[in-house]
Amino acid sequence: MGGRRRGAHDENYSFVSPVVKYLLFLFNLIFWVISLVMVAIGVYARMMKHAEAALRCLSVDPAVMLLVVGVLMFILTFCGCVGSLRENICLLQTFCICLTVIFLLQLVAGVLGFVFSDKARNRVTVMINDAIIHYREDIDLQNLIDFGQKEFGCCGGVTYSDWSQNIYFSCKPDNPSRERCSVPFSCCVLNKDENVINTMCGQGMQEMEYMRLETISMSTAASTNWWTGSTATCSSWGGLNVVCSVLQLVGILLSQILISQIKDQIELQNYNLKHSSDPWR
């Protein structure tokens, strides 16, 4: 006497939020598709291209690195997708634990990078200078460098004059190359009204170091050049690292909320099942 029907009353307080469930699913689905694209690009690059020059100046083959990251991301996001749709605690916990480990490793790497920033910067500079020397020897390496310079708005390792280390761009008086004292077109900045890339925009730019950035004009387009090196723009990776960390925290938070809701619902169902024979107990 004095008891109450807890099952019918508590059902209103324990449920799995469809918003959290499908938001976590969408979150993982996006990165699952990205992982498939990464794997496809990595497989294509590995099978169709053999970038020997790139391997001489890079510690890891970019294609292999892309494959490894893509496969790991595919497995991780697969656990997140299926776990959220099926409300599977095991898969969700696997996803959450792996994401937490990645976040902690990323945090440790960031701290070590800050503590040993000078050594890391010197290592990056050496790697970039090696890539500059072999720039014309492999099309994959060339495309990689051009992409990096355009993406991060830089030219060379420390400064644009680093391109003089390449035999084609060297400023030595006895250099017979038509690209003597030049820099790659990826060093140039396109104006808003410029639709066609002027591949000769870097012609002789190393000899114009005395001129101001704003006053440089090219023969066919009023393009300007980036004069900072790649190591000077490495701080851009800091912003990317922050974005990745925030996304990881969002994934961890959503998975933990969903796991908690699923556990509460299971406990409620077990309670109702246990007391179904005596509902007024």
Most confident of 112-116, 160-164, 195-199: 160-164
Does residue 97 surpass a pLDDT of 60? yes
Quick check: 3 pLDDT over 70? Answer: no
pLDDT of 49 reads 60
- The predicted-structure confidence for 270-281, as pLDDT tens digits, reads as follows 888 887 755 555
Local confidence band at 158 (pLDDT 50, 70, 90 cut-offs): confident
- Distance (Å, whole) CA 150 – CA 190: 10
What is the rounded CA–CA span in Å between residue 83 and residue 38? Answer: 23
- What does the alpha-carbon distance between residue 2 and residue 4 come to, in Å, rounded to a whole number? 7
Per residue in 120-140, pLDDT (tens digit) is 777 777 888 888 888 888 777
* pLDDT for residue 90 is more than 50: yes
In this predicted model, which residue has the larger pLDDT, 188 or 54? 188
The answer to pTM > 0.85 is no
109 pLDDT tier (thresholds 50, 70, 90):
confident
Name the nearest CA neighbour of 67 among 39, 45, 34, 31: 39
What band does 214 get if pLDDT is binned at 50, 70 and 90?
Answer: very low
Q: What is the pLDDT of residue 70?
A: 92
Q: How far are the Cα atoms of 54, 61, 62 from residue 57, in angstroms, in the given order?
A: 6, 10, 11
Q: Residue 19: its pLDDT value, please?
A: 92
Q: How buried is 247 (Cβ within 10 angstroms: 0-12 exposed, 13-18 middle, 19+ buried)?
A: middle
